Amino acid sequence: MDLWIIWYQTVAALRPACARTRTFLWLVVVLAAMTVRSDLAGVTSLVRSHWLRPQCYHRLLYFFHSPALDLSKLIRTWTNVVARLFARRLIRVGDRVVLLADGLKAPKEGKKMPAVKSLHQESAGNTKPTFIMGHSCQAVALLVQAVGGCLAVPLACRIHEGLVFSNRWRRTLLDKLVALLFDLGLESSFYLIADAYYASRKVALPLLELGHHLVSRLRSTATAYEPVTPSTARRRGRPKCYGRKIKLRDLFLRDEGFVAAPSPVYGEQAITLRYRCLDLLWRPLGRLVRFVLVDHPTRGQLILLCTDLTLEALEIIRLYGWRFKIEVSFKQAIHTVGTYAYHFWMKAMTPIRRSDGSQYLHRQSDRYRAQVRRKLAAYERHIQIGLIVQGLLQYLAVFHHRAVWRLFGSWLRTENHALAPSELVVAHALRNSLPDFLLSLPKTDALKKFIGPKLAPNRCPNLCLIQLDQAA
């Protein structure tokens, strides 16, 4: 029950994102239901997990579509909450925090779901289909120190593909990610860690202009240029901006300049890698950046880029090694929390066909486009609430792990108390103590008065005491 009290006090900080108190109370109910549900069957699972009356199904649908829950305010508020909760655990390099960014493809088979399109899956294995129908999202997470490791605490995620509202629209996925980063309202400067797709001028330049830096991987075909040697001789025409062109992968063919060192990547022990560091001109930016060529005994060869010329090569390698933490966060969001388990469909929408691409709406009526925007906002509210649920589970795992293990009440083959419990373990602990928490709330508590009439006594007889308590 102590965990729920801490949880409840933390959730109260999200109140500014809601236009009305009733909207906030529904937000609390949804957050709690997402936390304790045992299946991921959309809104119906929220009704079952919180022992609600069947009539609440339509009220929950309206909640996700309601503009009273401001998505932009919710993202900013949650970012501030995370920065405050994990202030002592933020991983910093110098005075900068570390952000992780990556894309995610959420499979969706609904024929009347806006923004669903055919997506290519890049996978080294043959267990996944090459193309799927779904939503293409981009997410941002904050790296924090946990018990025995580190975690990627999700901050925000948006659907960035599938809809074209204007034929003059020229914003790319990279532009939208940069906009999402700045919408967070993060006050501290940061390093952005991302894969090779984000090694672009459209990402690096806006970051540099605001005092942030990018650490990314480059494709094997990447090239760089030597700086131009200053010359006193006067020549006709424009002066040269770039020196000799260098194919970076060709540098692996020579041992010149490579240094052997123990691997700084987390979890790697007794592994020695070879690296070479060069400051060269990168044409997309037109300025010097730091390239680190890494020859790893098991991971192969890779080329890293860093826009901060003061950062040491081993530190760059260590930073990029943390990038995979966002992949772990995606796995928990999909399989434990059900962040992307929404099924809202639009009645007025023309059914899409398999293999269809983006939906072009510039010739549609204003009313139709408004309906599409409303549905897209519902998807993104569901996603953002799922991210908040996951972040709260991570907070309890990091700062209250002893209480989590005490209330776990289940069995694991191996309980490793030297590590922070997983989101699944924390969810089990909260699920076991939710009825006691609701019963312990005072009569005057707004949540108790709000949820009491909505409980179905036949679903959880113990909780009907709430209704009796209120009647008394």
Phi, psi values for residue 292, rounded to 5° = -125, 115
Pick the range with the lowest mean pLDDT from 143-147, 167-171, 182-186, 305-309. 167-171
Q: Which stretch of DSSP H or E encloses residue 76?
A: helix 71-85
Q: Six-digit token pair at 444?
A: 């005057």
CB of 394 within 8 A of CB of 151?
yes
The C-alpha atoms of residue 124 and residue 472 are separated, in whole angstroms, by: 63
The answer to whether residues 434 and 34 touch, using CB atoms and an 8 Å cutoff, is no
How far apart, in whole angstroms, are the C-alpha atoms of residue 162 and residue 370?
16
Residues 6+ apart with CB under 8 A from 299: none
Confidence of residue 420 (pLDDT cuts 50, 70, 90): confident
Question: Closest by alpha carbon to 158, among 177, 171, 172?
Answer: 177
The pLDDT tens digits of the residues spanning 351-391 come to: 988 888 888 888 889 999 999 999 999 999 999 999 999 99
Q: Is the pLDDT of residue 338 over 60?
A: yes
- State the helix-helix crossing angle for 21-36 and 42-49, rounded to 10 degrees: 90
Percent of the chain residues past pLDDT 70, beyond the cut:
94
Q: Which pLDDT score, from 0 to 100, does residue 120 have?
A: 86
pLDDT value of residue 106: 93
Task: Report pLDDT for 77.
Answer: 97
- Strands (DSSP E) contained in 316-435 are 359-360
Residue 237: φ, ψ to 5°: 90, 180
Please compute the mean of the pLDDT values over residues 449-467 and round it to a whole number.
Answer: 73
427 band by pLDDT with thresholds 50, 70 and 90? very high
- Count CB atoms within 10 A of the CB of residue 245: 11
Lowest mean pLDDT among 167-171, 182-186, 189-193, 404-408: 167-171
**pLDDT tens profile 40-49:** 988 999 999 8
Instruction: Show the tokens assigned to 34.
Output: 């997402």
Q: Which residue has the tokens 């045992």?
A: 38
Domain extents in the chain: 1-69+433-472, 72-227+240-399
Considering the domain 72-227+240-399 in this protein, what is its CATH number? Answer: 3.90.350.10
Q: What is the pLDDT of residue 465?
A: 52
Two tokens at 340?
């992307």
Model confidence band, residue 471 (pLDDT cutoffs 50, 70, 90): very low
CA–CA dist 459, 49 (Å, integer): 10
Residues in the chain: 472
Taking residues 439-447, report their average pLDDT.
87
Cα distances (Å, whole numbers) of residue 20 to 23, 27, 262, 345: 5, 11, 55, 26
- pLDDT at position 136 is 94
Closest CA to 276 of 304, 297, 298: 304
CB atoms within 10 A of CB 186: 20
The torsion defined by the Cα of 183, 218, 193 and 137, in degrees rounded to 10, comes to 50
Name the 3-class secondary structure at 77. Answer: helix
235 Rama class: left (phi>0) / alpha (psi -120 to 50) / beta: beta
As a whole number of angstroms, the distance between CA 300 and CA 317 comes to 14
Amino acid 124: pLDDT: 54
Average pLDDT, the chain: 89
In angstroms, the CA 423 to CA 408 distance is 12
CA distances from residue 53 to 41, 94, 191, 261 in whole angstroms, order as listed: 17, 52, 47, 62
Any residues with CB less than 8 A from the CB of 37 and at least 6 apart, and which? Answer: 45, 46, 48, 49, 338
Question: What mean pLDDT do residues 63-86 have?
Answer: 96
Q: What is the DSSP string of 31-71?
A: HHHHHH-SS--HHHHHHHHTTB-TTHHHHHHHHHH-TTB-H
With CA atoms as reference, report the closest residue to 154 among 192, 101, 199, 90. Answer: 101
- State residue 462's pLDDT score: 62
Report yes or no: 4 and 437 within 8 Å, Cβ to Cβ: yes
- What is residue 472's predicted lDDT score, i.e. its pLDDT? 40
DSSP one-letter string for 79-136: HHHHHHHTTTTB-EETTEEEEEEEEEEEE---TT-TT-EEEE---SSSSS-SEEEEEE
Output the DSSP codes for 130-177: SEEEEEEEEEEEEEEEETTEEEEEEEEEEE-SSEE--TT----HHHHH
354-373: b or e for each residue (b if 16 or more CB lie within 10 Å)?
eeeeebebeeeeeeebebbe
Whether the Cβ atoms of residue 439 and residue 411 lie closer than 8 Å to each other: no
